[in-house]
Amino acid sequence: MTSIVFKKSMLKTIIFLGAFIMTNTSTAASEAPLKLGYVPTSFPRDMIEVNQFAEHAILGQVLEPLVDADRFGNMTPGLAKSWTVSSDGRTLTFDLFTDRVFSTGRPITSKDVVYSLTRHLDGGSQSRNFLTSIESISAEGPQGIIIKLKEPNVAILKALTRDHLGIVPSDWKFDSKSDEPIIGSGAYRLVRKSGKWLLITNEKFLHKEKISIPQWELVFFSPEGSGVLESPLPDYAPLITQQGRDDLESEFKKNGIPVEIKEQLSFVQTSLWWYPHGERYRSTEDKSRIMSFLSDLVETRCKQTKCQRATGIVPVGIAGFLPEPLKVATAPRRADKKIKVRLATMGVLFDFLFEGKTAAEVAAKHNVEFEFFTFSPATLKELTVKKPDVVMGSWAGGFNDPEGFLPLLNQLLATDFVKFLEDLAPLYQKARTEQNWTKRADLFREFNERLVKEQRMVPGWKIPMYSVRRPNLKEEEIGFRYTPRLINVKKGK
């Protein structure tokens, strides 16, 4: 679950997103680095701990995955030049390029791939949620990889395109004190110089000639509570929310600096879930009233603020989406029983729901009282102790497929999502293993619809995302790829 939110000119992030300096820096040193914003202050850290979108975006410049995807969502070679899937869908065989090397000059082999992916499987990585169908990963000679699955998983190739799953050397260990803590084979290297973090050209990158901008300086989020944007202003901020766009546009105008803004294709949205560790979880009556109240509140506030409702857990444009919001029967108001609901909201994104008199009026209509508290990615585990009735989160998905969104609920709900589904589990399992894409989309649509109708969750709203850049920069169309690639950003006149 990865997304970014801005509030009142203060940047915040929420989710639910080697030891030597290069000696040959003649290209990078020829000009001052452009500023790239915005990066969480938690970065850099070990990939298996990364859970914020802006961190993924930086990893995508430094690391290369086993397989990749273009902006149309088509599978393309990454470090593997080719791959095959067995007829039963349970064995994937990959053949690596023989000319790919890490930024250190060391050739990339199957041993590095096995090491890199196994780290995520064995640890508490966010990507582990997408890899649970993997039974084993093994090397077949220096360039061959065999992945065996417990069951067919047509989304596994898309899962492997995640920047998070980029390949590192088999002897690599994360060192927070290092000036080059992450070693990869991507277009850029992440290095620290004079207290600043830079992305500089990887001289060993196979297509180095395509890099138009030799180095970038990372601009981090402003300190918590400062109330101002971090200085300096970025030259390029690829994916930010509307509030962030407005804040940046205001700052650029204040300083008399021209800026260009463009809306990007976005699958970021919010959702509200009946929490399995809450004390009312088994109360059908309370669930119906509480979720009806929240659905009514979201609908009312979206109309007032002109935000677009989400239709289900699968965003519009992804296989299995619902074309229109469903009309769910409202639970009858009981005058003799007022219930109090405890809501947990991820960061500040849900604050507008409860501001002003609207929330109180809708609550009175349903004879409900409410209180809410916020949590962050770091405090997710505390929710099982606080036991809210409903947990609210937002994310962009791990990749553009239903399976890129649903497994993330393991973390948000602090339970195995399949077990959480109970009687819906067989339908979900059938959808995720169906190898006919048309049937698969139909099954996910049915599953999506039942989640809403049975009030397991309330769809929130879609979050538009924008890029903000100086006019002399030309960016790529990100499209269906999870993150942008800076190699595709060019300098114009």
The residue to which tokens 């850290």 are assigned: 45
For every one of its 493 residues, what pLDDT tens digit does the chain have, with 9 covering 90 and above?
Answer: 333 333 433 333 333 332 222 233 334 445 789 999 988 888 999 999 998 888 999 999 999 999 999 888 889 999 999 999 999 999 999 999 999 999 999 999 999 999 999 999 998 899 999 999 999 999 999 999 999 999 999 899 999 999 999 999 999 999 999 999 999 999 999 999 999 999 999 999 999 999 999 999 999 886 544 445 556 889 999 988 888 899 899 999 999 999 999 998 889 999 999 999 999 999 999 999 999 999 999 999 999 999 999 999 999 999 999 999 998 877 777 777 899 999 999 988 899 999 999 999 999 999 999 999 999 877 888 999 999 999 999 887 888 899 999 998 998 999 999 999 999 999 999 999 898 999 999 999 999 999 999 999 999 999 999 999 999 999 877 777 878 899 999 997 6
Do 145 and 108 contact (CB within 8 A), yes or no? no
Residue in the structure block whose two tokens are 């990869």:
184
Taking phi over 0 as left and psi of -120 to 50 as alpha, with beta for the rest, 141 belongs to left
Domains and CATH numbers, the chain: 269-462 (3.10.105.10)
Selection from 433, 430, 417, 427 nearest residue 447 by Cα: 427
* Strand-strand pairing, 215-220 and 34-39: parallel
How many angstroms separate the CA atoms of 365 and 226, rounded? 39
35-to-23, 31, 230, 467 alpha-carbon distances in Å = 22, 12, 12, 14
**Dist CA 346 CA 354 (whole Å):** 14
Instruction: Report the alpha-carbon angle 126-128-133, nearest 5.
Output: 150
Output the six-digit token pair for 74: 């088509």
**CB contact at 8 A, 359 and 353:** yes
Q: What is the pTM of this model?
A: 0.88
| 358 neighbors 297 (Cβ within 8 angstroms) | yes
Please state whether beta strands 269-274 and 390-395 pair in parallel, antiparallel, or not at all (unpaired).
antiparallel
